[in-house]
Structures are given as C-alpha cells and as structure tokens.
Homo-oligomer: A and B are copies of this chain.
Amino acid sequence: MTTLLILDLVGTFVFALSGAIAGIKKRLDLFGVLVISFAAGNAGGITRDILIGAVPPGAISNWMYIVVSMFAGLVIFFYSSFIHRHKNFILIFDGAGLALFAVTGTQKALTFGLNPLAAALLGMLTGIGGGIVRDLLINEIPTVLRAELYAVAALAGSFIVVAGYELNFHPATMSIIGAFTCFAIRFMAIRRGWKLPIADIGNES
C-alpha cells in the first residue's frame, strides 16, 4: 500500500464524515447516511476517473474506498456527539482532504495525458466534487460554491502541481507544496472570514 493511497483514503474518510453529518441532519436512515457518506467521499474521484477514461474508477474497483466510507458513516451515525464537540477538528481534516484530493487528482489527470489547464481543473473537481454531490442529494445549493475560498484553495494547489510538472520539478516536492498551499489558503480563509466578491443584479431569487 503506497503512501499516496493511504493519503487518498484519509481524504475519503474525512469527506465521508461530512456526508454522514449532512445525511443525519436531513434525518435519513442508516442506509441513506451510508450512501451519502460514500457519495461525499468518492464522487469527486469517480467523476475525474470517468472524465479521463479510467474506468472502472478506483473508488469502485478498490474495496478499501468503500470500506473507509462505510466506516466513516457508521462512526458518525453512532457517535454523532463527537462531531458536535470537535467541529474545528473536522474543519481542519476537511481542509486536509481538500488539499490531498486536489493534488492527487491533478497528478492522475497528468498521468492520463491531459493538458495542464484541464489537469488543474480536474484536480479542483476531485476536491470539490464530493461536496457538490453530497449537497445535491440533500437538496441544497452546494456549499463549496459559496464557502470561504474553498474551490479557489483547491485550484491553487492544483496549479502548483501542474506548474511543477511543466517545469520538470520533483513531483513529490511540488505535491507537498501544492497541498500545503491549498490547506493554508483554506485555513486562513476560515479564520479570517475571507470571501470572494458577490455580484448583485438587483433581484433576489
């Protein structure tokens, strides 16, 4: 088991936690919670794999992604009070998952021969896709489209990986720098309340 796989599974676990929390808030039953856990933890990677032609996606063919997602769902289901007492803890892990997925998603897209811009966007999509599907399933506008520099942080990390690839820098080093940059942007945005501007065309929906 490679370091990359371990880190990817950590990201899956954290995002699956967020899915389980969302499902429980909407009062889904145990199975519904597990389905949303799996979707939140793996939809980003599955979408990336479908788009680059890597089927069946790793999240489907490797049983570890499934087991990790289910485990996260069960943890939240039976120990939901834990979440209430450790909200900051979860936010930090969520930022770490985002950073990781952005970097590994970009690398996988580059490996499959996509151009730099597409690879960076697919890295971002890997990071934010799980949260989007999670929110669609519970019938809400995806928070990742509104949260503090969420997608921006993912994109920053992805671009650093792509830049390193183009300049023939050492991949692992650039991945660490990219992941750290993504995490730092997200972390600071939460602490300081940084937000992107909102336009106004005068009529509320």
- Is residue A10 within 8 Å, beta carbon to beta carbon, of the partner chain? no
Chain A residues numbered 149-190 whose CB sits less than 8 Å from any CB in chain B: 149, 151-152
Whether A52 lies near B51 (C-beta < 8 A) is no
Q: Is the CB of A137 within 8 A of B146?
A: no
The segment out of A88-96, A99-107, A197-205 that lies at the interface is A197-205
Shortest CB distance A154–B (Å): 10
Determine if B196 and A145 form an interchain contact, defined as CB atoms under 8 angstroms apart: no
Residue A5 CB within 8 A of the other chain: no
- Which residues of the other chain, B, contact A122 by a CB distance below 8 angstroms? 60
CB closest residue in chain B, given A33: B199
A146 → B minimal CB distance (Å): 6
Q: Which of chain B's residues has its CB closest to A25's CB? A: B205
Give the residue name and chain of the B residue nearest to A128 (CB).
B35
CA distance A52 to B49 in the complex (A): 11
